[in-house]
Structure 1
Amino acid sequence: MIVGGYRGTETLVQIYDVVGKHLRKIKSTLYERDGSTSVKINNHVYSAGGARSKIVECLNLNQVNVGWNKVASMKEQRWGAASAVLNDQMCVAGGWNGRNVLSSVELYNPVVNTWTNIASMKTKRYGHALVSYNGCLYTFGGWDGSNPLNSMESFDPREGKWKSLKPMNEERNALCGVVYNDEIYAIGGKGLRSVERYNIRTNTWTKVSSLKHVRWGSCACVVNGKIYVIGGDGNDASKSIEAYDATINEWKIETNMETPRWQASVVAL
């Protein structure tokens, strides 16, 4: 499911069928989702923030035709934030609040419909990536307000603090990231086609095959054993979906969309 974006797609929601390679439109979001971030928890999709917004809304996948409904708002406005699921809760980290780049992190509990703050990241970031693996969070890349970042840090809720890990080989602003085959992938970024993966056990980064297009402001998810990267900046990138198959270490253009997507978010259903 691809949610929102920029340049006329702020409320557009589509589902991409990876088998049939086609898109279908479903109920639009209630609010503009330019630079927002989304997750799926227990058959519900939550989309948070975006330009000048701290509003969060939810779509029950069992009642798609009913449409989206507003839930509790975040404490901070967040554009270009990143999110992941931690213990059945939505974690949203960093972003831009219209004045400053943020290091703060909020956790949403859908059972009680409340947001609480957890420990802030060591580095303020927006346009970064955030993933969850084995009960821990990993964030990497982005922009700190002055410079693109290659740094990476992790959060273990049992310890309650962030710690620095091995930095990426390249600085990556406006990248996307996923967990795939028990490794973390850092994909693209401003001016980049390159992709690298992080081995959690050895704390090392290794380059893999590059994207077909330079992509930044893209979004990515894993479905049926492949990484799918949607849209991004640039005429060629914005209308295309690429897929990566680790068994052959190769990216292929899956389809070309009618509508360009940039600064959208995506969740695997």
Structure 2
Amino acid sequence: MRGSTLYERVGSTSVKINNHVYTAGGDSNFVECLDLNQVDGGWYEVASMNEQRYLAASAVLNDQMCVAGGLVGGFWGNALSSVELYNPVVNTWTNIAPMKTKRYGHALVSYNGCLYAFGGSDKPYGLNPFNSMESFDPREGKWKSLKPMNEERNALCGVVYNDEIYAIGGWNLKSVERYNIRTNTWTKVSSLNHVRCGSCACVVNGKIYVTGGAACDAALKSIEAYDATINEWKIETNMETPRCRASVVAL
């Protein structure tokens, strides 16, 4: 078990780059890093983001941490469309083109050198949830709209799995759908066993693992996994602590 982060965080977002874990935002613009090469090493602070981002989303783009959207000023703050990239080599953040839509509580994934942002909201308490999706190609330097999801989803999580993008759960939802990048279409798959709002997901050993989240305002301990070969979710185990609005990375 690794040591605790320097700061208590809710609504932060995390990625893994070259055996380093970076966690950013939440109630501040602070960013910290854990070097997995150091067996006894702890978290240490790196350059802060340009803006505070609560309930933002992150992905890895060309070995850099991309953080998109979120709220500035906490839960009652204003939604952001801005996007910034962290370069670990020079320890600096740089803004890139903003998303077409202001979003928080959304999902962000990276695939084949492009970013995909989907879902979220721009109003307090997740009112006005989105089903929209947009992508960013660094070679073009701008975001473009794609086919919207079948359902509006705020506080969802998302992953790339078997070359498709999965949108998982959300506020009062246990449904799941996947996006085929080649055909620009969304298809429903099996639903989660539990409603999960504010959960997080990663891919490990050929399965999608979804951890925590909340159902009926109660945080969950359970972890469930999806196997595409049988199109089924199964409860795998429980965490020691219920967690909602957390973040996870695969080591």
Sort the TM-score into its range (normalised by shorter chain): over 0.9
Distance 1:107 1:100 in 2: 20
Identity of aligned residues (%): 84
Number of the residue aligned with 2:3: 27
Number of the residue aligned with 2:209: 228
Runs of at least 5 residues in structure 1 that lack an aligned partner in the other structure = 1-24
Distance 2:113 2:209 in 1: 23
RMSD, matched Cα: 1.0
Q: Is the 8 A contact 2:219 2:244 kept in 1?
A: no
Number of the residue aligned with 1:75: 50
> Which digits, 9 at most, give the CA deviation of each residue in 1:23-73, with x for residues without a partner?
xx321000122110000000100000002x000000000114210000000
Distance 1:68 1:238 in 2: 26
Distance 1:103 1:124 in 2: 4
Distance 1:160 1:228 in 2: 32
Runs of at least 5 residues in structure 2 that lack an aligned partner in the other structure = none
Deviation at 1:259, TM superposition (A): 0.9
Deviation at 1:79, TM superposition (A): 0.5
1:63 counterpart SS class: coil
Q: Is the 8 A contact 2:25 2:31 kept in 1?
A: yes
Q: CA 1:257–1:100 in structure 2 vs 1: closer, same or farther (change >3 Å)?
A: same
Distance 1:48 1:257 in 2: 22
Number of the residue aligned with 2:234: 252
Q: Does 1:100 align with 2:78?
A: yes
Aligned pairs for 1:1-269 within 5 A = 25-51=1-27, 53-98=28-73, 99-145=77-123, 146-234=127-215, 238-269=220-251
Distance 1:62 1:33 in 2: 24
Higher mean C-alpha deviation, range 139-148 or range 159-168: 139-148
Distance 2:39 2:105 in 1: 29
1:126 counterpart SS class: coil
Q: TM-score, normalised by structure 1?
A: 0.89
- Matched length: 244
Q: Displaced runs of 4+ in structure 1, greater than 3 A?
A: none
Higher mean C-alpha deviation, range 228-237 or range 215-224: 228-237
User: Which amino acid counterpart does residue 141 of structure 2 have in structure 1?
Assistant: G
1:266 counterpart SS class: coil
Distance 1:88 1:56 in 2: 16
Instruction: Give the structure, 1 or 2, with the largest relative contact order (CA under 8 Å, sep 6 or more).
Output: 1
Q: Is the 8 A contact 2:172 2:215 kept in 1?
A: no
User: Which amino acid counterpart does residue 98 of structure 2 have in structure 1?
Assistant: S
Distance 1:259 1:117 in 2: 36
Distance 2:17 2:41 in 1: 18
Report the structure, 1 or 2, having the larger strand content: 2
Deviation at 1:237, TM superposition (A): 6.2
Q: Is the 8 A contact 1:210 1:251 kept in 2?
A: yes
Distance 2:247 2:167 in 1: 16
2:40 counterpart SS class: helix
Distance 1:151 1:198 in 2: 12
Q: TM-score, normalised by structure 2?
A: 0.95
Number of the residue aligned with 1:14: none
Distance 1:176 1:56 in 2: 21
Q: CA 1:49–1:64 in structure 2 vs 1: closer, same or farther (change >3 Å)?
A: farther
Distance 1:29 1:132 in 2: 25
